[in-house]
Structure 1
Amino acid sequence: METVRHDGRETAYRLTRPDAGGPTALYVHGSGATHRVWAAQYGPAGPTHPAAALDLSGHGGSGDVDTEVGPATLRAYGADVVAVASAVGADLLVGNSLGGAVVQHVLLADRVDVSAAVLAGSGAKLAVTEALRTWLAGDFECAIDALHGDDMLFHEADERTERRSRETMRAVGRAVTERDFLTCHAFDVRDRVGELDVPLLALVGEHDRLTPPFYHEYYVEHAPDATVALIEDAAHLAMVERPAAFSEAVASFFGC
């Protein structure tokens, strides 16, 4: 892992094949996750290289921040992305769920200069159910169980994949994971989607109950240049469940 120092903290990221000739993609994980959720994409079979994936503040190897949930946390996570994007010379941004919200934030704030973006399992508004918010506040294991229920994070994940996902969420911890989801709950840029002026791919697992396909269709209706693609036999973490199909869709969109 490499690190970049900014705003009084260090943000960790993994950079693979830095000498490759393709456009550089930067991957941004979602709530309660780390950069490793993108292992299939920054690995050898990924859609483009160089490739980088970061740990947002408080996740994995990155330093934490003391921010209120909502816009303040979103700005802090955005600063993480801007710092790593600058360090690696990112041409393309790929964000999942909360990571997609962060990508939209930095694009709308005009803080990065990239040629395209992928919003995977994300949306212009990311409401979180009252039940999940309650469990995150007081019964973390119940929240983890709910997120690993039918067609939530996964459609048909194998035992090893689900176990690793649960372990990662526990390692990130209740407080940071709750902060992530509450920041998602506060996120709403539906009235600004028309300002997203780079080509967008809205990529969604066909069974995703957390951010259903209609969330992604909103971009086609309201953004200047957006395309929707559906990943079959997958739910919210399509890049984990169906990495080949996910990477193929990204590569086709990026022209890699």
Structure 2
Amino acid sequence: MVASGQLPFVFIHGAGGTKAKYRGIETYLEGVPVRIIELPGHGGNKAPHCTTIEQQAAWMLEQLGEEEVIVVGHSMGGLVGIELAARTSCVKGLVLNASHYEMPVHPKILAELEAGTFPDMLFTASYGKGASEELIEEERAQLSAVPMDVTHVDFAACSAYKGEGTFRSLAVPILTLYGAEDRLLPKGAKEAAATANQHVRSVVIEGASHYIMLEQPEAFAKALLSFRTNILATV
């Protein structure tokens, strides 16, 4: 039995992101322990960046050690979470935060990133219609927090990863969180995930697109806390 004061949330950001993507989330988590990870080459983590999802998961495994956790992975971070949950029994729950087991990226997007430009169309599509101007300005400023070559490698790693088999094999509780306005995930992702793994529970959050934790942090945290409570009742 895991003690209620334990089982922290471990947050993993997405492609081209940093820990700032989860800024302020502790405010909503009622004192539950939180670790927000920056992957190598991102933000303040100056270690050489990884080039595949599998490499990122191996690095994450070293950071966790034997600690029992709930992993919350945003977008690319969800792919890392899938691989991580398959490699260690210390992951007691997995949250795919605006993520899926496969996330192909259009070649035109990869080409723009490789050329050193973050596509404006991609940026605009990442946020819902109700996102505040302040949030959009903050997020535009965040684009420079990660070198564009690292961002390109991240998106290429997402596109190359084929995780359906690994996802199907997972035997831990899984929460899939979707923004009702998300236009970046593969069509039918919610239904595909639920069909692929019997341990999936899905929640759709209104008023959010691809960055649920920034657009609707209270609803996001509420879903996480409910998921954690259910896990604590069974382990």
User: If the length of structure 1 is used for normalisation, what is the TM-score?
Assistant: 0.82
Aligned to 1:84: 63
How far the C-alpha of 1:44 sits from its partner, in A, is 2.6
In 1, Cα distance between equivalents of 2:21 and 2:94: 18
Structure 2 residue 45 is the aligned partner of structure 1 residue 65: no
Aligned to 2:150: 176
Aligned to 1:32: 16
Percentage of pairs with the same residue: 27
Structure 2 residue 121 is the aligned partner of structure 1 residue 146: yes
Structure 2 residue 101 is the aligned partner of structure 1 residue 124: yes
SS at 2:124 equivalent? coil
In 2, Cα distance between equivalents of 1:66 and 1:46: 30
Aligned to 1:136: 113
**Superposition CA RMSD, Å:** 2.0
Residues 174 and 226 (structure 1 numbering): CA distance in 2 closer, same or farther, change over 3 Å? same
Amino acid at match of 1:51: V
Within-5 A mapping of 1:182-201: 182-201=156-175
Residues 241 and 64 (structure 1 numbering): CA distance in 2 closer, same or farther, change over 3 Å? same
Are the equivalent residues in 2 in contact too, given 1:48–1:251 (CA < 8 A)?
A: no
Aligned to 1:93: 71
How far the C-alpha of 1:114 sits from its partner, in A, is 1.9
In 2, Cα distance between equivalents of 1:154 and 1:181: 21
Identify the range of structure 1 (222-231 vs 45-54) with the bigger mean alpha-carbon deviation: 45-54
Identify the range of structure 1 (226-235 vs 190-199) with the bigger mean alpha-carbon deviation: 190-199
**What do residues 86-120 of structure 1 show as CA deviations (whole Å, max 9, x unaligned)?**
28x24210001000000011122x23512111001
How far the C-alpha of 1:212 sits from its partner, in A, is 5.2
Are the equivalent residues in 2 in contact too, given 1:148–1:162 (CA < 8 A)?
A: no
User: If the length of structure 2 is used for normalisation, what is the TM-score?
Assistant: 0.88
Question: For 2:91, which of 91, 110, 114 is the aligned residue?
Answer: 114
**What do residues 211-244 of structure 1 show as CA deviations (whole Å, max 9, x unaligned)?**
1572132221111311110010110010110000
Residues 229 and 66 (structure 1 numbering): CA distance in 2 closer, same or farther, change over 3 Å? closer
Amino acid at match of 1:216: K
In 2, Cα distance between equivalents of 1:45 and 1:57: 27
Aligned residues: 227
Are the equivalent residues in 2 in contact too, given 1:116–1:198 (CA < 8 A)?
A: yes
Are the equivalent residues in 2 in contact too, given 1:125–1:188 (CA < 8 A)?
A: yes
Q: Where has structure 1 moved over 6 Å in runs of 4 or more? A: none
Aligned to 1:209: 183
Aligned to 1:255: 229
Residues 155 and 57 (structure 1 numbering): CA distance in 2 closer, same or farther, change over 3 Å? farther
